[in-house]
Amino acid sequence: MELRHFKSLAASGALLAAGVANTGQASATELTLCWAAWDPANALVELSKDFEAKSGIKMKYEFVPWPNFADRMLNELNSGGKLCDLMIGDSQWIGGAAENGQYVKLNDFFDKEGIKMSDFIPATVVGYAEWPKNSPNYWALPAFGDVVGWSYRKDWFARPELQAEFKSKYGRDLAVPKTFAELKDIAEFFQKREIDGKTVYGAAIYTERGSEGITMGAMDVLYSFGFEYQNPDKPYELEGYVNSAKAVQGLEFYKALYDCCTPPGHSDAYMSEDIDAYKSGQVALHMNFAFTWPGINADANVGGEKSGYFPNPAGPDGVAFAQLGGQGISVVAASEKQDDALAYIKWFAQPDIQQKWWQMGGYSALRKVVEDPGFATSQPYAQTFLDSMAIVKDFWAEPSYASLLQAAQKRFHDYVVAGQGSAQDAFDGLVKDWTQIFDDEGKY
Amino acid sequence: MLKSTVDRVAGATPHAIAKRVRRLSDRALAWLFVAPSIVLLLAVNIFPLIWTVRLSFTNFRVNRPNAEVQFIGLKNYLSILSDKDIWLTMQATAHFLIWTIVLQVLIGFSLAYLINKKFRGNDLWTTIIVLPMMLSPAVVGNFWTFLYQPQIGLFNYAVGFLTGADPSSFSMIGDVSLAPWAIIIVDTWMWTPFVMLICLAGLRSIPSSIYEAAECDRASKWRQFWTITIPLVLPFLMLAVLFRGIENFKMFDLVVQLTGGGPGSITELTSINLKREAFEKWRTGYASAYAVILFVTVFGLASIYVKALNKVKQR
């Protein structure tokens, strides 16, 4: 069979499925929601009981652990699978899912139901819902706001003997760092220190190789050092931006932080490894997405007053940015239950449901929730969440994001963890890789 | 008189069917019986192989259903063969392959030689030794990551205990120079018993009369070992090398669990690299060409090896 025949057959099948989806919209008795397997997903299960009670639709869930989440779900989308009716997909998937017709465009639905994107935090709308970016084309409703920030051992910082020692060594108080240079000083100060008879270390940062870990961690730091993905005036022009002197300085800093101040064996750590290192009392500083903060706050070992939270400190030029996380909720185009899936989104967008979502541990992206006067003091980490969400940047969300991400994973891990080559080599290589990918995409 | 089962089944066959079957030749009947297997083989092995070869000459990407698929000739093949990074993964695979085979053959044969001697608890020891190969590679990979943990891992503790080094001063899976050995150690731990069992079968197939004749001729144990044991066990050893070679060429699960291909790309074997191209970057055409190159390599090497094995057997 010729490939084009095979493709046309597949396309016919997809059209047929779409036709069925648009015409045969009998009320579903079950909806399947696909997301990552993590704490917020458990909160969403609880929250969705309200939808089940009101709609009579039973919710089913397909939650996949983070390291396999993208593989599993992108396979599902690419194969036109009908497992998921609703997808809470990663922000970077939006370009591919929109261009390949895997998500349903939601503009008409939003207009009909009076759902306004201006009601949501602007960064989450751009990051989770829009494709092309900064255009009013919406493919998702911002579902879970997330951003990389830091938690730290407030109780250790408060110890008088450590305060005194730190001040004598660095000439300033042991306090939340204002710059990345200060952060490294603190991490070095705690590295291999004996506290309560136990050896502790400086910082748990992202170094994972397999999925997206080291890229999320490195980018989180690089933005504040001046890294740019492209020429702001000429899209896809990378030379001199990706591999700028400031970017090189940022990556050298990240490697120095890895070399000096991480716990032994921290060469392949992402969200769960970092949270384990922090909760077990191994590290003073902990880089992670904000979703981990409710769990830290409630933890018997490090929770409550023992931990504090702060957004990314500033880079050498005094500016601070943070890596965006989080996801939007979309209706899968291959689903045969699109009307019911849209009903779920309508229910989820309601302000009172968004308020409950925040109370149950989900980071609502609705401005009415986060701009409420009581929000910032509602949880110890709420203000840090707001501050961090105000400074976000995100990785490429192009249809070729997976290739772009894998190239970054390799270049960063080769340099930061394996110590091969220089930071300049890593970025020059990355420019070459990304240029090739965009060239294949016909961007030049 | 009692009828046999065959007679009873034949008698119960409807006349029309019996008549049709009677007309079939032996050859046709044989084809009838093997047809289901052949159809299955064609569907799950041959068709995908041909389809993969077909895709390898295109720029097809499975995640771009709307993009035009172009025939690009040998571009994928040339691109792969001239890619420095792919040659590095080939080197990593060769390093892993050679060292695991050498260690597994040496240790496996030595264990088989010892187990072949009659001693008390022989069966118990055999059972204990073969336990690792009964475990799932994913499970083995996972628990060895704990054993290799610098702070709490038993492996690091044991090395520290024996050498006096600080157990947390080295990371088997995080250090560029140690990580390739970390995966070799685990694979050797897991699969040496397999080589041992094959060697044991070889050792037990040697008739004792040959050794008795050698004793009569006053041949030393050393000479018996080199002139009787090794030549007669060699075909078995070569078979074990073939099995382990093919298995380790496509090694994936164990290494992914242990190192994920890191640190950097130091333990990124070809199978891991291929998976990333096919199912993370979604370069389907490119990955198909990559798979074809690996298939031809394994098939070619295995064919040469099997010929050598047959020659050894004929001696």
Residue B70 lies in a domain: no
Distances from the Cα of B220 to the Cαs of B205, B212, B225, in angstroms? 21, 12, 9
- Spatial separation of the C-alpha atoms in residues A190 and A184, rounded to whole Å: 10
Q: Respond yes or no on whether the N-terminal peptide bond of residue A136 is cis (omega within 30° of 0).
A: no
Chain centroid to Cα A158, Å, comes to 31
pLDDT of residue B62: 86
Q: How many CB pairs under 8 A join A and B?
A: 108
Task: Please give the angle made by the CA atoms of B190, B193 and B194, to the nearest 5 degrees.
Answer: 95
Parallel/antiparallel/unpaired status of strands A198-204 and A193-195: antiparallel
Structurally, how many domains does chain B consist of? 2
Do the beta carbons of residue A417 and residue A223 sit within 8 Å?
no
**B298 lies in the same domain as B180:** yes
> Which residues 248-267 of chain A have a CB within 8 Å of chain B?
263-267
Whether residues B35 and B162 fall in one domain = no
Judge whether A3-146+325-393 and A148-323+398-440 match in fold: yes
CA distance linking residue A380 with residue A389, whole number of Å: 16
What is the reported pLDDT for B24? 80
Cβ of B262 and A11 within 8 Å?
A: no
Residues in chain A with CB shorter than 8 Å from the CB of B168 are 264-265
B240 and B108 in contact (C-beta within 8 Å)?
yes
Q: What span, in angstroms and rounded, lies between the C-alpha atoms of B7 and A432?
A: 76
Does B89 contact A at CB distance below 8 Å?
no
Q: Is A399 on the interface with B (CB under 8 A)?
A: yes
- Which domain range does residue B184 map to? 75-314
- Confidence at residue A16, expressed as pLDDT on a 0 to 100 scale: 38
Q: Same domain for B106 and B247?
A: yes
Spatial distance between the Cα atoms of B175 and B257, rounded to a whole number of angstroms = 16
Question: CB of A313 within 8 A of CB of A224?
Answer: yes
Complete DSSP assignment for A340-387: HHHHHHHHHTSHHHHHHHHHTT----BHHHHTSTTTTTTSTTHHHHHH
Residue B166 tokens, joined: 């600080």
Q: Where are the alpha helices (DSSP H) in B164-229?
A: 179-204, 208-216, 221-224
Whether residue B99 lies inside any domain: the answer is yes
Question: Residue-wise pLDDT tens for chain A (444 aa)?
Answer: 444 444 444 444 443 344 334 433 445 589 999 999 998 999 999 999 999 999 999 999 999 998 889 889 998 998 889 999 999 999 889 999 999 999 999 999 999 999 999 999 999 999 999 999 999 999 999 999 999 999 999 999 999 999 999 999 999 999 999 999 999 999 999 999 999 999 999 999 999 998 899 999 999 999 999 999 999 999 999 999 999 999 999 999 999 999 999 999 999 999 999 999 999 999 999 999 999 999 999 999 999 999 999 999 999 999 999 999 999 999 999 999 999 999 999 999 999 999 999 999 899 999 999 999 999 999 999 999 999 999 999 999 898 888 999 999 999 999 999 999 999 999 999 999 999 999 988 898
Residue pair B115/B126 in contact by the 8 Å Cβ criterion? yes
Quick one: B32 and B155 in the same domain? Answer: no
Distance from CA of A358 to the nearest CA of B (A): 33
Q: Are residues B39 and B87 in the same domain?
A: no
- Give the chain A residue nearest B85 (alpha carbons): A410
Domain assignment present for residue B60? The answer is: no
- pLDDT for residue A207: 96
Tokens encoding A192: 């291999």
B161 and B113 in a common domain = yes
Inter-chain residue contact A209 with B149, CB threshold 8 Å: no
Helix (H, G, I), strand (E, B) or coil at A31: strand
Residues B200 and B242 in one domain: yes
Residue B26 sits in the same domain as residue B162: no
**Residue B64: how many CA atoms within 13 Å on its side-chain side?**
19
Reported ipTM: 0.80
Q: Is B37 helix (H, G, I), strand (E, B) or coil?
A: helix
Residue in chain B closest to A72 (alpha carbons) equals: B279
**Residues paired with A103 in a beta bridge:** A332
What are A205's two structure tokens?
């940062």
Spell out which residues of chain B touch residue A92, defining contact as CB-CB under 8 Å. none
Query: How much of chain B, in percent, has pLDDT values that exceed 70?
Result: 99
Of A209, A263, A418, the CB nearest to B176: A418
Domains of chain A by residue range: 3-146+325-393, 148-323+398-440
CB contact under 8 A, B279 and A414: no
Confidence of residue B2 (pLDDT cuts 50, 70, 90): low
Considering only CA atoms, give the Rg of chain A. 23
| CA gap A115, A142 in Å, rounded | 11
Distance CA B304, CA B299 (A): 9
Strands A86-90 and A30-36: parallel
Task: List C-alpha distances in Å: A259 to A187, A199, A201, A271, A415.
Answer: 11, 17, 12, 19, 11
Mutation site, A212, A413, A443, interface B, largest B CB count within 10 A? A413
Give per-residue pLDDT as tens, B249-280: 999 999 999 998 989 999 999 999 999 999 88
User: Domain for residue B65, yes or no?
Assistant: no
Q: Do B264 and A3 touch (CB under 8 A)?
A: no
Per the CB < 8 A criterion, the answer to whether A290 and A362 are in contact is: no
* pTM confidence score: 0.85
pLDDT of residue A60: 97
Give the span between the Cα atoms of B98 and B107, in whole angstroms.
14
Cβ-based contacts of A71 with chain B (< 8 Å): 279-280
Does residue B114 carry a pLDDT above 90? yes
What is the distance between the alpha carbons of residues B132 and B112, in angstroms, rounded to a whole number?
A: 16
Residues 91-150 of A with CB under 8 A from B: 96, 99-101
Instruction: Tell me, yes or no, whether B45 and B79 share the same domain.
Output: no
Please tell me the predicted confidence (pLDDT) of residue A2: 44
B69·A3 Cβ contact <8 A = yes
Residue B52, chain A, CB below 8 Å: the answer is: no
Q: Do A420 and B176 touch (CB under 8 A)?
A: yes
* Interface list for A 425-444 with B (CB within 8 A): 440
Rounded distance, CA A30 to CA B61, Å?
A: 33
CATH code, B262: 1.10.3720.10
Q: Are residues B89 and B42 in the same domain?
A: no
In a domain, B186, yes or no: yes
Instruction: State whether A406 and B65 contact (CB < 8 Å).
Output: no
CA–CA distance, A132 with A235 (Å, rounded to integer) = 13
Between the alpha carbon of residue A345 and those of residues A141, A196, A227, A417, the distances in Å are 7, 49, 36, 42
Instruction: Please indicate whether, in this complex, the C-beta atoms of B174 and A11 are within 8 angstroms of each other.
Output: no
A 10 A CB-CB count for B90 gives 16
Cβ of B65 under 8 Å from any chain A Cβ? Answer: yes
Strand partners, A203: A285
Long-range Cβ contact pairs of A37-42 (< 8 A, separation 24 or more)? A37/A63, A37/A64, A37/A65, A37/A66, A37/A69, A38/A63, A38/A66, A38/A271, A38/A291, A39/A291, A39/A294, A39/A295, A39/A361, A40/A144, A40/A291, A40/A361, A40/A362, A40/A363
Judge if B157 and B190 occupy the same domain: yes
> What is the C-alpha to C-alpha distance for residues B47 and B41, in angstroms, rounded to an integer?
9
Superfamily for the A148-323+398-440 domain: Periplasmic binding protein-like II (3.40.190.10)
Task: Please say whether the structural domain A3-146+325-393 has been given the CATH code 3.40.190.10.
Answer: yes
Residues B109 and B228 in one domain: yes
Averaged confidence pLDDT in chain B: 92
Among candidate residues B187, A256, B258, B156, the one with its CA nearest the CA of residue B266? B258
